[in-house]
Amino acid sequence: MRQRSFFSSCLLVVLVLLVFLGLISFTMAWWGKGALRAKEGVGVVEVKGLITESRPTLEKLNRFQEDQQIKAIVLRVNSPGGAVSPSQEIMREVEKVRRHKKVVASLGTLAASGGYYVACSSDLIMASPGTATGSIGVILKLANVQELVKKLGVEIYSLKAGDLKDLGNPFRPLTPRDRTVLQHLLDNLHQQFIRDVARNRKIPLEKMKELGDGRIFTGEEAKQLGLVDEMGNFEDAVQKAGKLAGIKGKVEAIYPE
């Protein structure tokens, strides 16, 4: 009987200790998380690789906009571009965030096409002299595998309602009408790109049309042309953003959790 009572007491002590340790761990984690935000800092939102969707980037921008300890945001871009629509969505979200907090774009090794598109609406754009940027244009690549399919002995049947429903079908050649329609689409997207950059960078539209021929610029050239504001690396961008936001002393870069 005494042995059972002893083991019961030991078990109770162990359970109490486990609960106590759990509470300590939770408290330390809670205070640690609070400590991260106890000091004012600059939020860092990274745009890396091909831009195929916007939602993760939009969520990070919104989170930092709402965080009172985040006084400014650095948009770090290392991207060759991607789809037009998500690039536009990120660009427009940056425009909204700018109404509340300063946004500094930091261009890495490559910030071209859609990579530049997302950055162009920032308050300030910084790049290294050797950054590859620009490429303000739109491209569409299509393949015609008709002959390959024939060699494989495969027949492809395409049933459609609407003359242009199979536009870009890889199993037939492009018709002159196909080319006209696709070129019109690309031209329209290209003009949207040019207008957005001209508006955000305050560059005359006619000059922007000259710059928007798809060519790549170095960071140094981009600065001379008005596409970039200052030369500087990522750390320079963080400190610049903090200074614009009025943070005193060395600025801390804070990444999304």
Q: Which residues contact 198 (CB under 8 A, 6 or more apart)?
A: 204, 205, 207, 208
Domain annotation covers residue 170: yes
At residue 46, φ and ψ (nearest 5 deg) are -100, 135
Q: Are 173 and 166 in contact (CB under 8 A)?
A: no
Do 125 and 241 lie in a common domain?
yes
Provide the 3-class DSSP secondary structure of residue 128.
Answer: coil
> Among candidates 211, 216, 39, which has minimal Cα distance to 111?
216
Q: How far apart are the first and last CA of the chain?
A: 53
- CATH number of the domain within which 128 lies: 3.90.226.10
Q: Which residues contact 200 (CB under 8 A, 6 or more apart)?
A: 91, 95, 120, 121
Q: Name the one residue in this structure whose structure tokens are 């320079």.
A: 236
Global pTM exceeds 0.85: no
Please tell me the distance from the alpha carbon of residue 42 to that of residue 147, in angstroms, as a whole number: 56
Domain annotation covers residue 36: no
Do 73 and 142 lie in a common domain?
no
Residue 221's pLDDT is: 99
At residue 80, φ and ψ (nearest 5 deg) are -85, -5
Do 95 and 118 lie in a common domain?
yes
Residue 55's pLDDT is: 97
CA angle 252, 256, 257 (to 5 degrees): 110
Q: Are 43 and 64 in contact (CB under 8 A)?
A: yes
- Domain with 253, as residue range(s), is 41-135+215-257
Please tell me the distance from the alpha carbon of residue 58 to that of residue 46, in angstroms, as a whole number: 11
Q: Are 205 and 195 in contact (CB under 8 A)?
A: yes
Do 229 and 151 lie in a common domain?
no
Residue 257's pLDDT is: 80
Domain annotation covers residue 23: no
Do 53 and 143 lie in a common domain?
no
Catalytic amino acids?
Answer: 113, 165
How many structural domains does the chain have? 2
Regions in the chain scoring below 70 on pLDDT:
1-38
Give residue 7's Cα distance to chain centre: 59
Q: Name the one residue in this structure whose structure tokens are 């690789």.
A: 49
Q: Which residues contact 74 (CB under 8 A, 6 or more apart)?
A: 42, 43, 44, 45, 103, 104, 105, 106, 234, 237, 238, 241, 253
pLDDT in tens, 73-113: 999 999 999 999 999 999 999 999 999 999 999 999 999 99
Residue 6's pLDDT is: 47
Amino acid in position 105? A
